[in-house]
Structure 1
Amino acid sequence: MGEVGMQYRVLPEGLDVDLDKLKHEIAKALPKEAALRASETRPVAYGLNALHVLIVIDDKKGGAEQIEDAISKVPGVQSVEIVEMGLL
């Protein structure tokens, strides 16, 4: 079985959310078989930034939904969407 890389766009609840802290909270919330490999802050609009995270997990059915659910439960996260997914 291979690995899947998934890039998610995470929007914070507001301008006052610390994106570095949010990144660490996301990494802690992930299932044990998933790893946060990279992250990047990108501007959205009017001073709001989105956190783009690359998460790698074993290729299995339901992996993307499991990751999305875990991220969406992190305090400070308004929304999560998958931007890109592919086999590594």
Structure 2
Amino acid sequence: MADVVASIRVMPDSADRDLNELMDALKAAVPAGTKFQKFELKPIAFGLKAIMATVTVDDSEGGTEPVEEAWSKVPGVESVNVEATGRAF
């Protein structure tokens, strides 16, 4: 099986949310079989920033769903969306 690299946008529930704490919580919630790569902050509007995460998952059925489900349950997360995927080489 090949690996798939996914770029995932995580929106906090508030512009006042401590993003460092939220990133720590997201990293702790990475499910088994998923390799965390990095976080980047992307300004959205009015002081709100999105957390752009890069992870590597197997290309098996379900792909990024375990990550999306796990991160959606983290307190302080408003939404989780896959922005892009591609094969890892």
Alignment TM-score > 0.5, same fold: yes
Using the aligned pairs only, state the percent identity.
38
Runs of 4+ more than 2 Å apart: none
Aligned residues between the structures: 88
> What is the aligned partner in structure 1 of residue 57 from structure 2?
57
Tell me the equivalent position of 2:76: 76
Q: Please, what TM-score do these two structures have when normalized by structure 2? A: 0.93
1:59 deviation in Å?
1.7
TM-score by length of 1: 0.94
What CA RMSD, in Å, does the superposition of the two structures yield over aligned residues?
A: 0.9
> What one-letter code is carried by the residue in structure 1 that aligns with 2:51?
L
Alpha-carbon shift at residue 19 of structure 1 (Å): 1.2
Unmatched runs of 5 consecutive residues or more in structure 2: none
Aligned amino acid, residue 55 of structure 1: V
Give unpaired runs (5+ residues) of structure 1.
Answer: none
Q: Cα deviations across residues 33-85 of structure 1 (Å, max 9, x unaligned)?
A: 11210110010000100000001112211021111111101110001111000
